[in-house]
Structures are given as structure tokens and as C-alpha cells.
Structure 1
């Protein structure tokens, strides 16, 4: 019996923020995978090593967590006023599907650097020294993101002294602006309210802020579901019953937000919405052993991604946090002490993160113009990935 040989595809393995992913130029993909569809999904699943019933990704590039099972496809943008088109795929670990419904805010930090280094940006847009302002079209959510990439002697500078909780080593700071971060398909608050009563069978009626900003997110109060907001990954991820409860909350939130038409659809839409819980400031010990003092933060936030508590904070969920904190009356704002603000520092399992949000009243509602944060990014490996050639057949 004959078997198809492996094919090799140019790729770069990059860290962006607290995530890692495999980056591709669109034109480097096999022709069948240059368009959305089953061939592309099969290829990227095989690159990552999914689905893996062992949950290890031993036979692929994935890291068997939601933060490390990611793929990115980039191309020079034909859209006026933009440099690069950015398409993100969140790869399921144990199921044969890729969720294309949202962005990865962490990997956004690596997009500009990859685009410059791989010839996707007009060289005239890159200074010899200083910052390159790269305008990114986020194709999943159809939004503009600006990434400010440090440049030294005409090359992307990756090393530096910027420290990001959740990342072991310092690197160069990448400043990111998410413009008009509210979901382009709907209202900032899809229910029309900053807080709703969300009925969740078997759990009860929970106060919830459901917001479309950065990524659709359902916020609930930690105390309402029996938590303090100081929990670390093991407290949640080693409790199968807790994970099931969070998935139930997420599914009912998705239905209430109009993201799905039936609860059964939630299983095929794992990337969005996110579910998070918030609490007022309190001291705790982060996963690194670092002490986070109550006086150093405005509130506590814990968020789940792909069914597990995130080890730090998803970048897109941080945008949702910054946006909600800027609007009085949301659960996020109330946990932070209430009132209007344009920045908030929150505690997450790995430490703290500051995110900015600019909001204004417009009629009876709110409009968010921008959310900002700093991340870092670094190339880990570049060359080719190899996959069996029959994956495209």
C-alpha cells in the first residue's frame, strides 16, 4: 500500500502576548487551502495535531491549551488604509473543527512584526528607527487594529525590557489600539442593557453584562457563582462540575446575545462568546508565586477560553474588560468601584494587566471608540511545517 509523502509549507512559530501560534502567508499555503473551506481546515488541524483524544498535541505544533492551539493567515491588504489582512483560527484540541468566529487579541501583537519581516508591508511605511504604525484589517470581525512595532536599524526589534505577566521573559513592547471595538454585526450591548438577569437552568438567575467588544463576552459576579475572583487555573480546570457549569452559563449567554439560535449550536462555537467572572480588588498569590496586592488593582477578573480557565487573560477579553469598565453600570465597572474611567488595571491568574477604553454617550446608549493595551511578541522558530500530503485530498 502506497502512502502520500509529506509536504512542507513555509511557516513561522510565534509568541504574541500570552499566546503562541503558527503563522502563514496566504500565498504560501497549498492552493486548495488559500480559500476558506474543508481543505484549509483539514490542513491546519493536521498542522496543530488535532483532534487529539490524548489532549497532548504530540503529533503537531499545538500546545494542547486554548492559548497554544492557534493558527494565523496573513496577506498584504488590498483594503484602503490598511497594510495587512489578519485571519485567525482557533483550533479545537479534541474535536475536528476550527472556530473562525473571533479574533485573538494576544496574537495581534505578532501580526505587525510578521507582516514587516515577511514583506507584506510597503518598506516606505517602516522607519529606520522608531515605531512602525501597522494598520491591520482583522478579517474575522471586520475591524481595524493599529499595532505600533518597535524598529531598530530597519528591522523589527523583538528584545527589550517590557514585562508581561504570564510571559516568562521580557521583550520589546508592542502597543495596540483596537478601533471601534464593538461587534460590527450588532450593538455594543445586544440586549440593550449594561446588566441583565440571565436565567440559567440548574444554576439560577444571574446578573450578567453581555457585551460585544473585542470579543463577545458574558460577565457574571464571582460571588453569585460561589467564587472570590482570586482563583487560579487548578481551582477551576480540575473541577469537571465547575467547567460544565461555566459552559452552561456560556451557552445561555450566547443564546441571549443572539450569537446562536439554539443551545446545541454552542458546542460548535467554542471560541465565542467568552465567559468571565469579576470581583472587587483582593490580595492573592499569582500562579508565578508573585503577590498581587489589593491596592495594585482596580478589580479581579477570571475568564474561560475553549472550556478552560485561561492562565492569564485573552487579549480580546481584555478589550471587553476595558470597554465595560469605561461604561458606568456594568458589572465590570461596579467591581472596579463604579463611575467613568478610561483605564483599568485588573488582576488575573498570572498577575495584572492594564487596559484602556474610551467611551462616550450617544443618545440613550454608549459608543466605544478605542481600546488600548501593551503586549510583546517574538519569533520562536521559522522554516517549514510538514504534514502528510493526503491531508488535502
Structure 2
């Protein structure tokens, strides 16, 4: 039997925030993969090493966590006033599935830097020294993200002293602005899909909980930690080592997705694993982060823990941080109440790896709450550049 050689595809392996992914320019992909469909999905799964029944992704670039099982495509934008189109695929680890239903806020940071690295930005727009403003069209959710990328000697500056909890080493700070993140980009979408700041969420076989259901950054279901038997100080091993609890969180996620109108039947949740997210909140408490350092109650406004792709995240997803900032800015949501209530333009929250500050500008338009902008700082850098190889 003849065996075909591997295919070489130009690619860049990047960290963005607390995530990692394989980045491609659209024109570098094999022609059948330059359009959405089965060929593209199969390529990305093979690049990452999925589906892997061992859950290790040994035969691919993935790192066996939701934070490291990602692919990104960038191209020059055809939209007015935008530089690049950014498309994100969340690759399932153990199933043959790529979820295109949402954005990755962490890799949005790397998207701005990669756009410059990959020659997708007009050279006249890049200063010799200073900040390059990259206007990104997030194609998954049809939203604008503005990345403020530091530049030295005409190149992206990747080193610096900006520290991000969940990332071991310091790097250069990149400021992200998420414009109009108040809905998920779907026609007629709103920040609170049910019209309520707090709902009674009935989860069959589990119970009924108060929940804030919000679409800002990414559709997210917020519940109170104490209502589901937690303190809000939990780390990954406290949740991810308990299959029964993970199954309960999935039931909450399915119930929330149905209530938000994201799916019509529970079975559809299997094809929408990336969204919505489930997060639980609590008022400030002191706890020991996964790094071993102590986060004091006085350092934060509230605590938040969030699940991604069925597991507790080791830090915080960037898009979920946008949802936290948006919900905190609206008086009366569970996130706002956990932070002490009242009007807020920014919060610092505690997550398993430490703390993060996110700002949001919120107001009411025709009686409905909207968030015009959310802002946070991350960092990004190239880990490796060259070609990724996959069997033909």
C-alpha cells in the first residue's frame, strides 16, 4: 500500500493571554480549506491531534486542555475600517468536532500581533516605535476588537514587564477594546436574552437556581457559588476530578442554553460545546491561587470561577472576562451583587490563577441595558514559527 507524504502548511504557534493556538493566514491553507466546511475542520483536528480517546493530543499541537486546543485564521479584511478578519475554531479534544460558535478573547490578543507579524497590516500604519492600532473584525460573532500592539524598531514588541496571572513570565502589554459586546452578534440579539437581570433557572434533576444569563463577549450563565455548594475559591482539581460535578455543570449549561434560545433541544448542546459558558460567583474571600500565592479578600471585588469545554478553566477566558465586566456594570445582576452592588465601571476579580481587572462602559438605551465597550490588558508572543505538517 502506497503512503502519501505529509503536507507542509505555513503556521505560527502563539500564546495569547492564557491560551495557545496555531495561527494561519487564510491564503496559506490548502485550497479546499480556505472555505468553511468538512475539509477545514478535518485539517484543524489533525493539526491539533483530535479526536484523541486518550485525551492527550500527543500526535498534534494541542495541549490536552481547552486553553490549548485552538486554531485561528486571519486574512486582510474586506470590511470598511477594519484591518483583518479573525476566525477562531475551538477544537474538541476527544470528539471529532470543531466549534465555531464563539470567540476566544485571549487569542484576540495574539490576533492583533499576528496580523502585524504576518504582513497583513499596511506598512504605513506601523510606527517605527510606539503603538500600532489593529482593527479586527471577529468573524465568529461579527464584532469589532481593537488591539493596541506595542512596536519597537518597526516590529511587534513581545518582551516587557507586564505580568498576567496564569502566565508564568512577563511580556509586553497589549490593550484590547471589545466594541459593542452587548450581544452575541446574532440578528436581534440582546445583552440579556430573557429580558431579566436575574432568572430562576430550572435545571431538571438538579434544582432551581438564581442565574444571570448574559450575551456579552460570549454567552455566559452566572450562578451564585453558594447556591450550587461551592465557596468560589475552588481550583481546577477541586472540580475537574469529580465527574459527577462536571456532569451537573453540563446540565446547568444545557438548561441555560435552552433558556437563552441558543439551542432548541438538549441534544443540540453536543454541537455547541464552546458556548455558552457557565461561571459561579461569590463575594471576596482570601484563598491560595494555583501558583501558591495568597489572594487576599481586600485585593478583589469578587471571585469568579468559569468552565470551558466541560472543565474548570485554569484562569479566566478573555471573552468570559468581558461578560464579567459587562454584568458587573449593570446594577442588580448576580455578578454586580457579588461585587457589592451599585454602579461600576471596572472590577478586579479573583480566579484560580490570581486576579484580573476588566472595565466596561454600560448604560440604558430605550429601557434596555447595553455595553458600548469592554477593556482589558493581556500579552502575546510567538512561541514557534515555520510549518505545521499533517498526513496527506
Q: What is the TM-score with the length of structure 2 in the denominator?
A: 0.99
- Give how far 1:94 is off: 0.2
The one-character-per-residue Cα deviations of 1:223-274 (angstroms, maximum 9, x if unpaired) are: 0000000000000000001000000000000000000000011011100000
> Which among 320, 323, 326 is matched to residue 323 of structure 1?
326
Bigger Cα displacement from structure 2, 11-20 vs 197-206: 197-206
Once residues 226 and 270 of structure 2 are traced to their aligned partners in structure 1, the CA distance between those partners, rounded to angstroms, is 27
> Which among 341, 344, 354 is matched to residue 341 of structure 1?
344
The equivalent residue for 1:14 is: 14
> Which among 351, 356, 364 is matched to residue 353 of structure 1?
356
The equivalent residue for 1:122 is: 122
2:99 is the counterpart of 1:96: no
Bigger Cα displacement from structure 2, 178-187 vs 29-38: 178-187
**Secondary structure of 1:67 counterpart:** helix
- Give how far 1:364 is off: 1.8
The equivalent residue for 1:301 is: 304
Summarize the alignment of residues 25-40 of structure 1 with structure 2, pairs less than 5 Å apart: 25-40=25-40
Q: How many residues align?
A: 389
> Which among 182, 195, 200 is matched to residue 198 of structure 2?
195
The one-character-per-residue Cα deviations of 1:53-99 (angstroms, maximum 9, x if unpaired) are: 00101000000100000000000111100001000000000000100
Summarize the alignment of residues 348-387 of structure 1 with structure 2, pairs less than 5 Å apart: 348-387=351-390
2:212 is the counterpart of 1:214: no
Once residues 192 and 385 of structure 1 are traced to their aligned partners in structure 2, the CA distance between those partners, rounded to angstroms, is 46
The equivalent residue for 1:64 is: 64
The one-character-per-residue Cα deviations of 1:261-318 (angstroms, maximum 9, x if unpaired) are: 0001101110000000000000000000010000000000000000000000000000
- Give how far 1:3 is off: 1.4
The one-character-per-residue Cα deviations of 1:315-358 (angstroms, maximum 9, x if unpaired) are: 00000000000000100000000011000000000000000010
Once residues 238 and 134 of structure 1 are traced to their aligned partners in structure 2, the CA distance between those partners, rounded to angstroms, is 41
Once residues 55 and 313 of structure 1 are traced to their aligned partners in structure 2, the CA distance between those partners, rounded to angstroms, is 22
2:277 is the counterpart of 1:257: no
> Which among 205, 216, 228 is matched to residue 225 of structure 1?
228
Summarize the alignment of residues 124-143 of structure 1 with structure 2, pairs less than 5 Å apart: 124-143=124-143
Bigger Cα displacement from structure 2, 78-87 vs 178-187: 178-187
Once residues 378 and 153 of structure 1 are traced to their aligned partners in structure 2, the CA distance between those partners, rounded to angstroms, is 16
> Which among 280, 283, 290 is matched to residue 280 of structure 1?
283
- Give how far 1:363 is off: 2.3
Unmatched segments (≥5 aa) in structure 2: none
Q: What is the TM-score with the length of structure 1 in the denominator?
A: 0.99
- Give how far 1:117 is off: 1.1
Once residues 112 and 223 of structure 1 are traced to their aligned partners in structure 2, the CA distance between those partners, rounded to angstroms, is 39
The equivalent residue for 1:152 is: 152
The equivalent residue for 1:243 is: 246
The one-character-per-residue Cα deviations of 1:10-67 (angstroms, maximum 9, x if unpaired) are: 0000000000000000000000000000000000000000000001010000001000
Once residues 136 and 50 of structure 1 are traced to their aligned partners in structure 2, the CA distance between those partners, rounded to angstroms, is 28
